[in-house]
Structure formats: C-alpha cells, structure tokens
C-alpha cells in the first residue's frame, strides 16, 4: 500500500487559508462597522458657510463636529454648536454659540446681554450688538430650548430673529470641535486676552 504524502500535506494548508480568509473578512466587517458608527454617532465633518461666526470661524473653515459630546451631558453656555432645525425651510447646518440655557430669561439692551436680569461677561471677543431683534423684550426659554448668537453679532442670523428663533435640544447635531484647515480646537479660538 502506497502512501501519498502530497495529498496529506495539503489539508493543513487549505485549513490555514480558510482560517485566514475568515479572519480577514471579520476584520473588514469590524472596520466597516466602526467607520459607520464613527461617522453616524461620533464625528462628522462640515464647512462653515458665511461670516456669522467671525472672528472665531471664517467662511469655508472645515469643522469636525463632535456628535458624541452631548450624549451624556447637556450643552453649556458659550459652547459653539452645530444644529439643523426641523420643520424649517432650510436644510443646512448652522453654527452658532450658546448664550442662553433652558429655563433662563434672555434680554438684549444697548448691546448688553442680560440673563435672568444680570449682564453676562463673555470670554471671547465680539462686537457690540446694534440690533437686539426679538430679544429687545425678555425671552423666556423652555426646558429644552437654547438661545444662540453668532460671534459676528452685526452680521448674524441667530435666535434674535424669527426665522431661526430658539434652538431645540433635539435639533443640536453636536459641538463644533476642531477646525481642520488651520488646526485648532474651536473653543480655544478668539478667547479674550487676559489683562496683565
């Protein structure tokens, strides 16, 4: 009886190839799944359109949105957020800075911002507002509403105007996190210089 050594030596090789192929397919599936989760639930890229956030963000600045930022915590005052309003005519992303938080009363008088009757001091540079818009009268925010302003106060369509109005928590996509074209964290741009 003859023994075929070539035939028996191929079985381990075939098993090895099948095993490596299965691991390779699993690795690709994991990478594709992680990429999908990253894009849809954690990070997204957008472009700043317009001049409403100058000098913090310029027209055509590329921004990475941290969509995960508000999964476990609420937006804070002075966060720069990205939102898309449902039931509005436009379908694009807006980028503005949070000024008023849920439950607060907002009013703008002679360019000064009053929250619950007290003037707030902003930690970034911005112009004095010439137009108070709807906030010339007190605005009471509901428990899921935010009042936002653009940093370019005299060239910004924001919560002072009826076509934007107060922003609902559910309309917030995430926090404007990183400016990629001139790399910097958005919350570190345009901060007032401390007096020496």
The answer to whether residue 132 is catalytic is no
Cβ–Cβ contacts within 10 Å for residue 87, how many? 6
**Choosing from 67, 96, 126, 175, which is the catalytic residue?**
96
Strand partners, 191: 124
Distance CA 27, CA 12 (A): 22
Residue 104's contacts (CB-CB under 8 Å, 6 or more residues apart) are: 115, 116, 141, 147
Alpha helices in the chain (DSSP H): 5-37
Residues 6+ apart with CB under 8 A from 76: 98, 101
Whether 52 is catalytic: yes
Catalytic residue among 10, 19, 45, 52: 52
Beta strand segments in the chain, E: 43-47, 62-66, 80-83, 94-100, 105-109, 112-115, 118-119, 139-140, 145-149, 167-168, 172-179, 184-185
Query: Would you name the residues annotated as active-site residues?
Result: 52, 96
């Amino acid at each position: 009886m003859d023994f075929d050594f070539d035939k028996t030596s191929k079985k381990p090789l075939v098993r090895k190839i099948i095993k490596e192929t299965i691991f390779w397919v699993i690795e690709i599936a994991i990478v594709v799944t992680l990429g999908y989760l990253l894009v849809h639930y954690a990070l997204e890229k957008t472009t700043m359109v317009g001049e409403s956030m100058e000098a913090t963000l310029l027209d055509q600045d590329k921004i990475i949105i941290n969509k995960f930022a508000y999964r476990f915590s609420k937006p804070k005052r002075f966060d720069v957020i990205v939102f898309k309003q449902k039931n509005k005519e436009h379908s694009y992303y807006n980028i503005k800075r949070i000024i008023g938080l849920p439950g607060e009363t907002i009013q703008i008088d002679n360019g000064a911002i009053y929250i619950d009757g007290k003037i707030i001091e902003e930690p970034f540079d911005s112009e004095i507002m010439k137009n108070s818009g709807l906030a010339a009268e007190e605005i009471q925010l509901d428990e899921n509403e935010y009042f936002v302003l653009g940093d370019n106060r005299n060239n910004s369509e924001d919560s002072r105007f009826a076509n934007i109005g107060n922003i609902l928590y559910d309309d917030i996509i995430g926090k404007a996190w990183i400016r990629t074209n001139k790399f910097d964290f958005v919350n570190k741009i345009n901060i007032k210089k401390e007096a020496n």
